[in-house]
């Protein structure tokens, strides 16, 4: 049973990729919602005085994000906030960019350092005779479990699950799942050691 008020990790999440037509993303409803969201959010996005994160938190939550007690630094950008879940005691630092189109879930105690990019979608380019701009979008959810630390300038691609207690080194590119309690670095990101003590 999940702890009260916490984000429940969906261990049965569908991580299969889905190809969606561009009209599914670039429709009138999404244009209007994003227009209203960014119109209001831009008033507070770059404020850096004490407690300004509370204004950003309130706007993101107003537009449907399932977000608990989270520090949101200046310059954070969230697309499709209504498809984003963030647990308790998390921090999103300066310049973090989250693409929520395919679904993004952060557990409790997640630390996301400056200029991290979390992508739950990207362009389909499977048809060489069709301009990429006219092809669909490929989506798959991103799940970052409890107590994970993501270093500066990390890129996390769609369909990835980062296990509980893991550390991702700065400037890494995460293209596949990371097991719990791992230290992983590089582009592409690879596990270099476990945080768990070796058994005697």
CA–CA dist 26, 35 (Å, integer): 12
23 is a domain residue: yes
CA–CA dist 112, 102 (Å, integer): 19
CA–CA dist 73, 51 (Å, integer): 10
25 is a domain residue: yes
Peptide bond into 188 cis (omega under 30): yes
Please return the burial class of 83, using the count of CB atoms within 10 Å of its CB with bins 0-12, 13-18 and 19+.
Answer: buried
What is the largest distance, in Å, between two alpha-carbon atoms of the chain? Answer: 61
51 is a domain residue: yes
pLDDT computed for residue 51 by the predictor: 87
pLDDT computed for residue 3 by the predictor: 45
Q: pTM of the prediction?
A: 0.86
Domain count, the chain: 1
List the chain residues with pLDDT less than 50.
Answer: 1-6, 12-13
Domain range holding 24?
18-192
Neighbours of 198 (CB within 10 A): 6
Q: Which of 50, 66, 27, 53 is nearest to 35 (CA)?
A: 27
CA–CA dist 87, 78 (Å, integer): 15
pLDDT computed for residue 5 by the predictor: 46
**Collapsed DSSP state (helix, strand, coil) of residue 150:** strand
CATH number, domain with residue 90: 2.160.10.10
pLDDT computed for residue 12 by the predictor: 47
pLDDT computed for residue 2 by the predictor: 45
**Collapsed DSSP state (helix, strand, coil) of residue 98:** strand
Neighbours of 22 (CB within 10 A): 14
For the four alpha carbons of 177, 84, 124 and 155, in that order, the dihedral sign comes to: negative
106 is a domain residue: yes
pLDDT computed for residue 21 by the predictor: 66
46 is a domain residue: yes
Residues carrying an active site annotation:
123
11 is a domain residue: no
Residues 6+ apart with CB under 8 A from 81: 37, 60, 63, 64, 65, 100
pLDDT over 70, % of the chain: 88
45 is a domain residue: yes
pLDDT computed for residue 8 by the predictor: 54
CA–CA dist 171, 150 (Å, integer): 10
157 is a domain residue: yes
């Amino acid at each position: 049973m999940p702890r009260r008020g916490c984000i429940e990790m969906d261990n049965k999440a569908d991580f299969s990729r889905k190809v969606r037509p561009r009209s599914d993303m670039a429709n009138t409803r999404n244009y209007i919602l994003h227009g209203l969201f960014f119109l209001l959010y831009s008033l507070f996005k770059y404020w850096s005085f004490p407690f300004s994160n509370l204004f950003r938190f309130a706007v993101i939550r107003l537009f449907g994000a399932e977000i608990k007690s989270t520090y949101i630094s200046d310059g954070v950008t969230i697309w499709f906030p209504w498809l984003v879940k963030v647990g308790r005691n998390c921090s999103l630092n300066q310049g973090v960019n989250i693409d929520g189109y395919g679904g993004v879930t952060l557990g409790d105690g997640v630390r996301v350092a400056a200029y991290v990019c979390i992508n739950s979608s990207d362009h389909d380019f499977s048809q060489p005779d069709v301009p990429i701009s006219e092809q669909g979008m490929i989506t798959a959810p991103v799940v970052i479990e409890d107590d994970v630390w993501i270093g500066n300038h990390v890129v996390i691609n769609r369909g990835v699950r980062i296990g509980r207690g893991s550390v991702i080194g700065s400037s890494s590119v995460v293209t596949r799942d990371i097991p719990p309690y791992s230290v992983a670095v590089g582009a592409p990101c690879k596990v270099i050691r476990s945080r768990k003590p070796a058994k005697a």
